[in-house]
């Protein structure tokens, strides 16, 4: 989603901000812009629709030093990548936005949503402000300009922020205040990057990788004023505060498709290594678990997440209920946060999030924490807002996931739930861990035999719709298979528990509908799956069966002839969800590449959804 990068005091501020924005590109955006300030405090803005290259082209066509600005004196720049929420992706709606009302002209970039912007805009228009965009953001510079008339810059941004409802991270430049960046946040993440002779602001420390390793994460309500030589930090009450400096060793290398055509394919292939790393880190060679926290007397669990993470959570429910024997609820975060569900004293709340920044999941976590729950987060971003808010963190150790469609983080989530179920359960973990250790090799074997899935993908590219069905722990995996397919191939797809098919979805079945069934031959329910397949066949639907060798062995020749069969290796029950994941990811990937979609940055999607 939107990204903010700002620098003050850096001799190469424009280029460094553009590079910082490119580090956030993978999150998804539809326009970009920068504002540069010269030594006299003059500010010039450049914006463009589309990828960052379009902004670079605009800068080449209309260089900053052709306007009222001396390029050589630019040491202060704010930049933004925008993912449209209010107003279509146009140059006018791209950030930065500028406004002046009573005070100096203010230039801002903003992540999040100002929910009361309509009301504020009406008020500002009545006072003489003229708006040039359809965005919620544009109210910010006018209000900050007004506040600067009677307040110091830090007080002005604090007072301005108090008028906003919603979530925001803001960086601002003020005309006539050279080499000064103002910043504040609530709900949306923002950190300071500490340099030598310069300071930076970014919505994600990753934007500053290669520039600094020292960061300060702002807390809700914090306001910052940065110059090249100092920064001042106030909390939401206007009191000076200090926040801890965190040293992060960020991976500077963004090149890395490592010979793969897409990041998604690379990340699919990284899964054996991710699984091996998780097992190695969180278990001991003598067969015990080594999770980085102690949880005891768990009587009930709420799992909350969005999208793919919620399906990992739903698989977690099956694993936890079976091994721990306590009731487990799974909720979509956007529903949980407003439903006010009863939360039993001492309950365990588990947030699941690759990014650790998803707005709804973060809000749900804060709600649970405020209601006395012990909060654990399973996240791939151990420095994220969720990691800081939770009592306990289980890092997913999957390495940075660039493709918008989550693959290796999902697998890491499912494995993390498996380890958690063994940790909280009463079974001796050693035999289970011995089984889990076979996973990397089994996944590698699967990756060595991609041909049948690629062939299958070539046959579904014309489908307008697909069904994904599964039973037990494979039901939520069917939902995930459908999500992956629609995210990157744009084929409409629905996931259902197999038993639900007769209750409605069967009406969709005709000769054009591929129906992907997930079934293991080892759970005693394979006969029921076969009945489901026959029901589809009888209506001329296209049956695709993903099963293990034990399942395949239960098919007679006639049945085999009527369907497309993809087999996964026979394996202990605990390994089933992960082994069935790989064919679904690959089917979506090969379908998307056959259709020629933008696999790594599919249309309309953002990697980290930091607004509701």
**Positions in the binding site for ligand M6R (CB under 6 A):** 306-309, 353-355, 358, 361, 404-406, 487, 605, 608-609
Nearer CB in complex with ligand M6R: 534/603: 603
Coil/strand/helix, residue 301: strand
Nearer CB in complex with ligand M6R: 485/519: 485
How many Å apart are CA 477 and CA 547, to the nearest integer?
Answer: 13
User: DSSP letters along 207-276, please?
Assistant: GGTTT-SEEEEPPTT-EEEE-SS-EEEE-TTS-B-----EE----------TT-SSHHHHHHHTHHHHHH
Residue 354 beta carbon to ligand M6R: minimum distance, rounded to whole angstroms: 3
Handedness of CA 252, 257, 263, 268 (dihedral sign): negative
How many Å apart are CA 146 and CA 156, to the nearest integer?
Answer: 8
Percentage helix, strand, coil, to 5, in the chain?
40, 20, 40
Residue 342 beta carbon to ligand M6R: minimum distance, rounded to whole angstroms: 24
Residue 421 beta carbon to ligand M6R: minimum distance, rounded to whole angstroms: 20
Residue 606 beta carbon to ligand M6R: minimum distance, rounded to whole angstroms: 8
How many Å apart are CA 288 and CA 277, to the nearest integer?
Answer: 16
Nearer CB in complex with ligand M6R: 423/487: 487
Nearer CB in complex with ligand M6R: 179/480: 480
Nearer CB in complex with ligand M6R: 28/33: 28
Residue bearing tokens 């994600």 = 204
- Can 16 be counted among the known catalytic residues? no
Start-to-end C-alpha separation, the chain: 12
Is residue 584 within a helix (H) or strand (E), and if so which, with residue range? Answer: helix 576-595
Rg, Å, the chain Cα set: 26
Do β-strands 199-202 and 191-194 pair in parallel, antiparallel, or remain unpaired?
Answer: antiparallel
Nearer CB in complex with ligand M6R: 387/501: 387
Q: How far is CA 211 from CA 61, 71, 170, 513, 529, in A?
A: 28, 21, 21, 52, 55
How many Å apart are CA 205 and CA 190, to the nearest integer?
Answer: 8
Nearer CB in complex with ligand M6R: 129/409: 409
How many Å apart are CA 403 and CA 529, to the nearest integer?
Answer: 33
Residue 138 beta carbon to ligand M6R: minimum distance, rounded to whole angstroms: 27
How many Å apart are CA 137 and CA 594, to the nearest integer?
Answer: 39
- Dihedral of CA atoms 478, 479, 481, 483 in degrees, nearest 10, equals 170
Structure tokens that stand for 399 in this block: 């390495």
Residue 543 beta carbon to ligand M6R: minimum distance, rounded to whole angstroms: 26
Residue 358 beta carbon to ligand M6R: minimum distance, rounded to whole angstroms: 3
- Can 2 be counted among the known catalytic residues? yes
Contacts of 520 (CB under 8 A, 6+ apart): 474, 526, 547, 548, 550, 551, 573, 576, 580
Beta carbons within 10 angstroms of residue 288's beta carbon: 13
How many Å apart are CA 261 and CA 138, to the nearest integer?
Answer: 40
CB 377 within 8 A of CB 387: yes
Residue 520 beta carbon to ligand M6R: minimum distance, rounded to whole angstroms: 24
Residue 596 beta carbon to ligand M6R: minimum distance, rounded to whole angstroms: 19
Residue 28 beta carbon to ligand M6R: minimum distance, rounded to whole angstroms: 9
Handedness of CA 357, 358, 359, 360 (dihedral sign): negative
Nearer CB in complex with ligand M6R: 519/584: 584
Nearer CB in complex with ligand M6R: 306/442: 306
Alpha-helix residue ranges (DSSP H) falling in 63-202: 117-126, 139-150, 153-162
CB 136 within 8 A of CB 86: yes
Q: Report which residue's Cβ sits closest to ligand M6R.
A: 307
Catalytic residue among 47, 408, 484, 607: 607
Residue bearing tokens 């005091």 = 9
Handedness of CA 328, 333, 339, 341 (dihedral sign): positive
Coil/strand/helix, residue 57: helix
Nearer CB in complex with ligand M6R: 361/517: 361
How many Å apart are CA 581 and CA 218, to the nearest integer?
Answer: 38
Residue 367 beta carbon to ligand M6R: minimum distance, rounded to whole angstroms: 16
Nearer CB in complex with ligand M6R: 358/418: 358
Catalytic residue among 2, 191, 223, 306: 2
Catalytic residue numbers read 2, 607
């Amino acid at each position: 989603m939107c990204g903010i990068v700002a620098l003050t005091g850096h001799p190469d501020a424009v280029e460094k901000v553009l590079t910082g924005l490119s580090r956030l590109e993978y999150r998804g955006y539809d326009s970009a812009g920068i504002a540069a300030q010269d030594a006299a405090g003059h500010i010039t803005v450049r914006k463009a629709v589309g990828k960052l290259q379009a902004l670079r082209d605009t800068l080449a066509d209309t260089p900053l030093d052709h306007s009222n600005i001396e390029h050589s004196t630019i040491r202060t720049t704010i930049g933004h990548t925008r993912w449209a929420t209010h107003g279509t992706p146009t140059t006018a709606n791209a950030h930065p936005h500028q406004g002046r009302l009573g005070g100096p002209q203010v230039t801002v970039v903003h992540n999040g949503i100002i929910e009361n912007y309509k009301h504020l805009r009406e008020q500002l228009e009545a006072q003489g402000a003229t708006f040039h965009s359809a965005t919620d953001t544009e109210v910010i510079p006018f209000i900050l300009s007004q506040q600067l008339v009677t307040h110091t810059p830090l007080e002005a941004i604090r007072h301005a922020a108090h008028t906003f409802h919603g979530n925001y991270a803001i960086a601002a430049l003020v005309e006539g205040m050279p080499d000064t960046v103002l910043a504040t946040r609530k709900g949306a993440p923002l950190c300071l990057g500490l340099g030598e002779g310069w300071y930076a602001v970014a919505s994600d420390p990753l934007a500053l990788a290669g520039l600094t390793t020292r960061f300060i994460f702002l807390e809700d309500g914090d306001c910052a004023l940065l110059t090249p030589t100092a920064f001042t930090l106030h909390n939401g009450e206007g009191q000076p505060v200090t926040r801890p400096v965190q040293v992060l060793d960020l991976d500077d290398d963004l090149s890395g498709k490592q010979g793969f055509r897409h990041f998604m394919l690379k990340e699919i292939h990284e899964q054996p290594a991710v699984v091996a790393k998780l097992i190695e880190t969180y278990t001991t060679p003598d067969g015990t678990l080594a999770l980085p926290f102690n949880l005891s007397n768990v009587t009930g669990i709420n799992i909350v997440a969005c999208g793919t993470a919620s399906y990992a959570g739903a698989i977690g429910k099956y694993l936890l209920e079976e091994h721990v024997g306590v009731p487990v609820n799974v909720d979509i975060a956007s529903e949980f946060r407003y439903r006010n569900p009863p939360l039993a004293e001492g309950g365990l709340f588990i947030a699941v999030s690759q990014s650790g920044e998803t707005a709804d999941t973060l809000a749900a976590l804060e709600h649970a924490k405020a209601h006395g729950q012990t909060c654990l987060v399973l996240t791939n971003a151990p420095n994220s807002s969720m990691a800081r808010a939770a009592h306990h963190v289980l890092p997913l150790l999957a390495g940075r996931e660039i493709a918008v469609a989550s693959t290796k983080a999902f697998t890491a989530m499912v494995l993390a739930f498996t380890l958690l179920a063994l940790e909280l359960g009463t079974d001796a973990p050693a035999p289970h861990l011995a089984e889990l250790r076979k996973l990397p090799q089994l996944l590698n074997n699967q990756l060595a035999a991609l041909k049948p899935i690629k062939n299958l993908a070539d046959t579904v590219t014309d489908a307008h719709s697909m069904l994904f069905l599964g039973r037990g722990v494979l039901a939520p995996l069917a939902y995930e298979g459908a999500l992956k397919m629609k995210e990157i191939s744009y084929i409409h797809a629905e996931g259902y528990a197999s038993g639900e098919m007769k209750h409605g979805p069967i009406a969709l079945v005709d000769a054009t509908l591929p129906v992907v069934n997930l079934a293991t031959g080892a759970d005693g329910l394979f006969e029921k799956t076969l009945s489901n397949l026959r029901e589809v066949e009888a209506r001329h639907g296209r049956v695709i069966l993903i099963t293990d060798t034990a399942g395949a062995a239960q098919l007679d020749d006639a049945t085999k002839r009527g369907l497309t069969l993809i087999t996964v290796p026979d394996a202990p029950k605990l390994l089933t969800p992960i082994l069935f994941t790989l064919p679904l990811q690959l089917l979506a990937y090969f379908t998307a590449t056959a259709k020629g979609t933008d696999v790594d940055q599919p249309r309309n999607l953002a990697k980290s959804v930091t607004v509701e």
